[in-house]
Amino acid sequence: MGTTDLLISQADRRPMYLQIIEQVRRRIAVGDWPSGYELPSIRALAAGLQVSVITVKRAYLELERDGVIVTRQGRGSCVADSAGLSAGLRHAELDQHLGSAAAVGRSLGLTAEELVARLRDLVAGKDEEQR
Amino acid sequence: MSEPVILLDGVEKTYPYFRLTNIALQLDAGQILGFVGPNGAGKSTTLRILMAMVQQDRGTVRVLGRSLPREQAAAKQDIGFVSEDMRLHGSESLAWHMRLVADLCPGWDAAYATALVGRFNLHPEQQVRALSHGERIKAALLLALARRPRLLILDEPTTGLDPVARHEVLAELMDVVQDERRAVLFSSHNTHDVEQISDQIAFIDRGRIVDTGDKETFLDRWRRLRLDVPPGVTLPAAAGVIDTSTSGRQAIVTTRAYAPGFEAGYAAAGVGIHAVERLTLEEIFVATVMHNRRERAA
Amino acid sequence: MSGSVVARLIRKDLVLARWPVTGALIGGAASLAIMPLTSVTAYVGGVTFVCVLVILNIILVMNGVVQERKDKTQIFILSLPVSTAQYVAAKVVANALAFTVPWAVLSAAAVVVIVRSPIPDGLLAFWAVLLGYLLAYYFVLLGVALLSDRSGWHASAITVGNISINLLIPALLNLPSIARQTSSPIAVWTADIVALTLGEVLVGAVVLAWAIRYRSRRADHV
Number of structural domains in chain B? 2
- Judged by a CB distance cut-off of 8 A, whether residue A106 touches chain B is yes
Is the pLDDT at B149 greater than 90? The verdict is yes
Same-domain pairing of B134 and B214: yes
Query: In which band, very low, low, confident or very high, does the pLDDT at B1 lie, cut at 50, 70 and 90?
Result: low
Q: Kindly give the residue spans of alpha helices, DSSP state H, lying in C2-150.
A: 5-16, 18-34, 39-61, 67-70, 73-78, 84-116, 123-147
- Judged by a CB distance cut-off of 8 A, whether residue C1 touches chain B is yes
B270 burial via Cβ count (<10 Å: 0-12, 13-18, 19+)? middle
d(CA C106, CA C25): 7
Give helix C18-34 / helix C39-61 axis angle, nearest 10°: 170
The answer for A24, left when phi > 0, alpha when psi is -120 to 50, beta otherwise, is alpha
**Minimal CA–CA distance to A107: which of B184, C115, B267?**
B267
Judged by CB atoms closer than 8 Å, whether chains meet at B177 and A55 is answered as no
**Minimal CA–CA distance to B148: which of B118, B179, B186?**
B179
B133 burial via Cβ count (<10 Å: 0-12, 13-18, 19+)? exposed
**pLDDT for the residue numbered C2:** 40
Q: Which residue of chain A is at minimal alpha-carbon distance from B197?
A: A52
Q: Are B124 and B93 in contact (CB under 8 A)?
A: yes
From the CA of C105, how many Å to the nearest CA of chain B? 26
Max mean pLDDT range (A86-90, A106-110, B151-155): B151-155
Which H or E run contains B58?
A: strand B58-63
Judged by CB atoms closer than 8 Å, whether chains meet at B174 and A54 is answered as no
**pLDDT for the residue numbered C83:** 86
In a domain, B295, yes or no: no
**pLDDT for the residue numbered A86:** 64
CB atoms within 10 A of CB A90: 12
- Does the CA dihedral B53-B56-B57-B61 come out positive or negative? negative
**pLDDT for the residue numbered C222:** 63
Q: Are B188 and B35 in contact (CB under 8 A)?
A: yes
Q: What phi, psi does B260 have (nearest 5°)?
A: -55, 135
Which residues on A lie below 8 Å from B216 (Cβ)?
A: 17, 54-55, 58
Mean pLDDT, residues A69-77 taken together: 86
Nearest residue, CB atoms, A54 vs list B214, B261, B264: B214
From the CA of C77, how many Å to the nearest CA of chain B? 9
Query: In which band, very low, low, confident or very high, does the pLDDT at A1 lie, cut at 50, 70 and 90?
Result: very low
In chain B, what's the furthest Cα-to-Cα distance? 76
In a domain, B84, yes or no: yes
Is the pLDDT at B254 greater than 70? The verdict is yes
- Judged by a CB distance cut-off of 8 A, whether residue B76 touches chain C is yes
- Judged by a CB distance cut-off of 8 A, whether residue B225 touches chain C is no
Is the pLDDT at C1 greater than 60? The verdict is no
Mean pLDDT, residues A74-90 taken together: 74
Nearest residue, CB atoms, A53 vs list B175, B199, B264: B199
Name all domains of chain A by residue range, CATH numbers in brackets. Answer: 3-80 (1.10.10.10), 85-130 (no CATH)
**pLDDT per residue as tens digits for the range B25-64:** 999 999 999 999 998 899 999 999 999 999 999 999 999 9
In a domain, B284, yes or no: no
Q: Average per-residue pLDDT in chain C?
A: 90
**Size (chain B), residues:** 298
Is the pLDDT at B185 greater than 70? The verdict is yes
In a domain, B65, yes or no: yes
Same-domain pairing of B90 and B203: yes
**Minimal CA–CA distance to C220: which of A46, B33, B13, A7?**
B13
Judged by CB atoms closer than 8 Å, whether chains meet at C8 and B92 is answered as no
**pLDDT for the residue numbered C70:** 78
Looking at B183, B203, B218, the residue that finishes a domain is B218
- Pick the more confident residue, C120 or C24: C24
The answer for B169, left when phi > 0, alpha when psi is -120 to 50, beta otherwise, is alpha
d(CA B228, CA B231): 10
- Judged by a CB distance cut-off of 8 A, whether residue A43 touches chain B is yes
CATH number (domain holding residue B19): 3.40.50.300
In a domain, B50, yes or no: yes
Same-domain pairing of B230 and B210: no
Q: Average per-residue pLDDT in chain A?
A: 82
Query: In which band, very low, low, confident or very high, does the pLDDT at A131 lie, cut at 50, 70 and 90?
Result: low
Judged by CB atoms closer than 8 Å, whether chains meet at B106 and C1 is answered as yes
Q: Which residues contact A59 (CB under 8 A, 6 or more apart)?
A: A17, A18, A20, A21, A24
CA angle, residues B65, B69, B75, in degrees to nearest 5: 40
d(CA C25, CA C98): 11
Is the pLDDT at C188 greater than 80? The verdict is yes
In a domain, B290, yes or no: no
**Size (chain A), residues:** 131
The pTM of this model reads 0.84
Q: How far is CA A14 from the centre of its chain?
A: 15
Residue to substitute from B66, B68, B100, B127, interface C, most C β-carbons within 10 A = B100
Q: Which residue of chain B is at minimal alpha-carbon distance from A10?
A: B196
Instruction: Identify the domain containing residue B140 by its residue range.
Output: 6-218
Judged by CB atoms closer than 8 Å, whether chains meet at A44 and B264 is answered as no
- Judged by a CB distance cut-off of 8 A, whether residue C75 touches chain B is yes
Judged by CB atoms closer than 8 Å, whether chains meet at B278 and A55 is answered as no
DSSP-derived pairing of the beta strands B200-205 and B32-36: parallel
Same-domain pairing of B65 and B192: yes
- Judged by a CB distance cut-off of 8 A, whether residue A104 touches chain B is no
Q: Where do the structural domains in chain C lie, given as residue ranges?
A: 5-217
- Judged by a CB distance cut-off of 8 A, whether residue B131 touches chain C is no
Is the pLDDT at C168 greater than 90? The verdict is yes
Mean pLDDT, residues A46-71 taken together: 91
Which H or E run contains A22?
A: helix A16-30
**pLDDT for the residue numbered A110:** 83
- Judged by a CB distance cut-off of 8 A, whether residue B72 touches chain C is yes
d(CA C85, CA C213): 10
**Number of alpha carbons in the 13 Å side-chain half-sphere of residue B156:** 19
**pLDDT per residue as tens digits for the range C69-93:** 777 888 899 999 998 888 888 999 9
Same-domain pairing of B84 and B211: yes
Same-domain pairing of B92 and B16: yes
Judged by CB atoms closer than 8 Å, whether chains meet at C221 and B54 is answered as yes
Subunits adjacent to chain C (3 or more Cβ pairs under 8 Å): B
d(CA C167, CA C83): 42
Q: Average per-residue pLDDT in chain B?
A: 92
In a domain, B144, yes or no: yes
